[in-house]
Amino acid sequence: MLQIEQSMTNLKVDKLDLQILDELMRDAAQPYTELAKKLYVSGGTIHVRMRKLNEMGIVKSASLQVDYEALGYDISAFLGIYLDKSSLYDDVSSQLKAIPEIVSAHYTTGQYSIFAKIVCRDTNHLRAVLHDKIQKIQGIQRTETFISLQESINRPVDILGSVK
């Protein structure tokens, strides 16, 4: 049995489900009819499988990958956030969600309590977000900022592995 399927046995996900997910993770805009042709199944099968994967909570949503620089957002930065106490995570996290420049945040082990990604127009915008929004949140002790010079990898997980 496939290793991926073994870990998902209780979810009843099979090879076709994984193939559908793999294709859509690479290009969510492709029509189900085209995907059905690639996988040698009917369009209805794709619809039924996607509904099942949604109901199971495996598929949360479909998204669009955008080139932020082309829209004038030239700064991507990562922010290590130190909390006064780890018990403040839920409160701080809910306040971070209200800041639109924060595009992702993770509760982490190690040096930081939270590690976040921020997208801003320029360094002045980044400074304003840090000073006027993030560092004013009660429970944040301090932050450490890392500006990204270039993203070299951004891809989905290879859920099929050697199954292909």
The burial class, CB within 10 Å (0-12 / 13-18 / 19+), for 3 is exposed
Residue-wise pLDDT for 51-98, tens only, equals 999 999 999 988 888 999 999 999 999 999 999 999 999 999 999 999
| Assigned domain for 152 exists | no
Which amino acid is present at 63? S
Specify the pTM: 0.81
Higher-confidence position of 9 and 80: 80
Residues 49 and 18 in one domain: yes
- Encoded amino acid at 65, one letter: Q
Q: Per this entry, what is the length of the chain?
A: 164
Residue 114 lies in domain? 68-147
Exposed, middle or buried by CB within 10 Å (0-12, 13-18, 19+), for 17? buried
Whether the pLDDT of residue 4 is over 70: the answer is: no
CA 90/CA 86 separation, integer angstroms: 9
Tokens of 128: 């304003």
Q: Report how far residue 139's alpha carbon sits from residue 85's, in angstroms, rounded to the nearest whole number.
A: 7
End-to-end CA distance of the chain: 14
Angstrom distance (rounded) from CA 128 to CA 67: 22
- Residues 91 and 44 reside in one and the same domain: no
Classify residue 162: in a domain, yes or no.
no
Considering only CA atoms, which of 65, 11, 22 is closest in space to residue 46?
22
- How does pLDDT run across 115-162, given as a tens digit for each residue? 999 999 999 999 999 999 999 999 999 999 999 999 999 989 999 986
Strands 75-83 and 114-120: antiparallel
**What pLDDT sits at residue 62?**
87
Are 14 and 72 members of one domain? no
Last-in-domain residue among 63, 80, 96: 63
Residue 117: inside a domain, yes or no?
Answer: yes
Distance of alpha carbon 101 from its chain centroid, rounded?
Answer: 15
For tokens 């039924």, what's the residue?
Answer: 48
Residue 161 lies in a domain: no
Q: What HEC string does 117-136 produce?
A: EEEECCHHHHHHHHHHHHHH
Q: Is the pLDDT of residue 7 over 70?
A: no
